[in-house]
Amino acid sequence: MAERSRTPDDRAVFVISVAAELAGVHPQTLRIYEREGLVRPKRTTSNARRYSERDIERLLEIKRLTGHGVNLEGVRRVIELTQELDRLQARLDALEAELRAQTRRHRQELEAARRAARHDLVPYSSAIVRYEPPQRGLRDI
């Protein structure tokens, strides 16, 4: 059996009465939310509304916010800001991944340059010359 994805499903399968029941609101409330642009259910060829799991989650969030005293304009703003935050987080994640990849490439290039530089070195003679300072006698002290 395949494991179910943790992200909400975008398949629009719930009719308005089922969506309203799942969200704990009246179907007329869903029509108001749609008119206000807070939720956009899909439409069938006969123009019937169909809601997805993602839509149901959005409806539950709207219900939670309005239950805390936020008006519909405030809900719209919260949704917009949340979407902007999600967009910016995705951009940040992409930039961090790009930075990690560049860091990896730079390290590889640096290591390759170090290895190449080692090949350019001229071998030093193995003969060791020892420096011995001149002996000083007692009178030189």
If asked whether residues 50 and 75 sit together in one domain, one would say: no
Identify the weakest region by mean pLDDT among 2-6, 55-59, 110-114.
2-6
Q: How many domains does the chain have?
A: 2
Q: Range of 105's domain?
A: 71-118
pLDDT confidence bin for 23, thresholds 50/70/90: very high
Task: Kindly state whether residue 87 falls inside one of the protein's structural domains.
Answer: yes
Class of residue 19 by CB neighbours under 10 A (exposed 0-12, middle 13-18, buried 19+): buried
Kindly write down the DSSP assignment for every residue of 1-60, as one continuous string: -PPPPSSPP----B-HHHHHHHHTS-HHHHHHHHHTTS---EE-TT--EEB-HHHHHHHH
Sign (positive/negative) of CA torsion 92, 98, 99, 101? positive
Identify residue 15 by its one-letter amino acid code: V
pLDDT greater than 50 at residue 128: yes
Which tokens belong to 35?
């008119």
Q: Is 23:15 a contact under the CB 8 Å cutoff? A: no
CATH of the domain at 54: 1.10.1660.10
Taking the C-alpha atoms of residue 115 and residue 117, their distance in angstroms, rounded to an integer, is: 5
Task: Kindly state whether residue 76 falls inside one of the protein's structural domains.
Answer: yes
Greater model confidence, 77 or 130: 77
If asked whether residues 76 and 25 sit together in one domain, one would say: no
| Structure confidence by residue, pLDDT tens digits, 31-76 | 999 999 999 999 999 999 999 999 999 999 999 999 999 999 999 9
Q: Where is the domain boundary, 31, 51, 69?
A: 69
- The β-bridge partners of 128 are none
Task: Kindly state whether residue 114 falls inside one of the protein's structural domains.
Answer: yes
If asked whether residues 20 and 61 sit together in one domain, one would say: yes
Produce one character per residue of 73-106: b if its CB has 16 or more CB atoms within 10 Å, e if not: eebeeebeeeeeeeeeeeeeeeeeeeeeeeeeee
